[in-house]
Amino acid sequence: MTSYHDLPLLKPPVWTWEVPAYFFVGGAAGAAAVLGIAAQIAGPRNEKLARDARWIAAIGANLSAPLLIADLGRPDRFLNMLRVFKPQSPMSVGAWTLAVFGAGSTAAVFVPNKTVRNLASLVAAASGLVMSTYTGVLLGATTIPVWKEHVDLLPVHFGASALASACALLELRGNKSDALNALALGAAIFESLPAANVEEKLLMRLAGALSGPVPLALRLFNKRKAAAASTLLGSLATRFAWVEAGRSSAKDVKSAL
């Protein structure tokens, strides 16, 4: 027999696996769009890098929508979120950002006209910057104690993780740019810092190691592809770890108080 004393004060998040997967895919795709426009501006010698980045952004965008819709249950729920734009709502901003990002990144790859493709790339990059960070804002805007406690860290943390993932995907596509390596190295250094402060569970510790210290060490020894693989695993695990940490935190009465 149980009483209300046994119930958690907060309702744990009921998200299925599709949500942390969406956080990972959407973040990496958004950062790739930003890298793509940067490579395009840098000049013709970066043409392959720009093209690969645009494709990663488009594929990620077109995977993100089904992942989000799968969690919502029905496509019309996603469409209903687009009926009204609510700038004070991270979920509304996220839905609109995904819609704009999906359109821009897809057009940047498939539209025949070069001028339109370039304009679409700019739209994808601008909305991609939001895609790579807003999910951290979304978590921090809730009443879940562990997310609220790290409200300032989460957007930057997710953004750095997304950047590292985009760099890793581009490297695994055969791009050997020193600039990519430098960005990924910087992200690994940054990811090594929060790892020391939020390692509360085994999954979080594993995600922190794979995102920060492991790829950092591998890059220092010029093992870029191994570092890229570690980064991708760590980035994906990071999203699942934060969702699981939120579930545990919501059930903890002392944290809730």
Tell me what pLDDT residue 91 has.
81
Distance CA 218, CA 23 (A): 25
Residue carrying structure tokens 């985009």: 166
Helix %, strand %, coil % for the chain, to 5? 80, 0, 20
5 three-state secondary structure: helix
Predicted pLDDT of residue 3: 44
> SS3 of 6, please?
helix
- Asked if 69 contacts 78 with a C-beta cutoff of 8 angstroms, the reply is yes
User: Tens of pLDDT along the chain (257 residues)?
Assistant: 344 455 555 677 778 899 999 999 999 999 999 999 999 999 888 999 999 999 999 999 999 999 988 877 677 777 777 887 888 887 888 889 999 999 999 999 999 999 999 999 999 999 999 999 999 999 988 889 989 999 999 999 999 999 999 999 999 999 999 999 999 999 999 999 865 566 567 899 999 999 999 999 999 999 999 999 999 999 999 999 999 999 888 876 555 55
Give the model's pLDDT for residue 197: 60
Distance CA 119, CA 115 (A): 6
- Tell me the pTM: 0.91
**Integer CA distances (angstroms), 35 to 21, 29, 85, 94, in order:** 21, 10, 28, 20
In CATH, the number for domain 14-249 is 1.20.1630.10
Give residue limits of the domains in the chain: 14-249
One-letter amino acid of 55: W
Cα 157 to Cα 196: distance, rounded to the nearest angstrom: 13
Q: Which two tokens stand for residue 118?
A: 């370039």
Residue 156, CB half-sphere, CA atoms under 13 Å: how many?
10
Q: Measured at the alpha carbon of residue 202, what is the angle toward residues 196 and 203, in degrees to the nearest 5?
A: 90
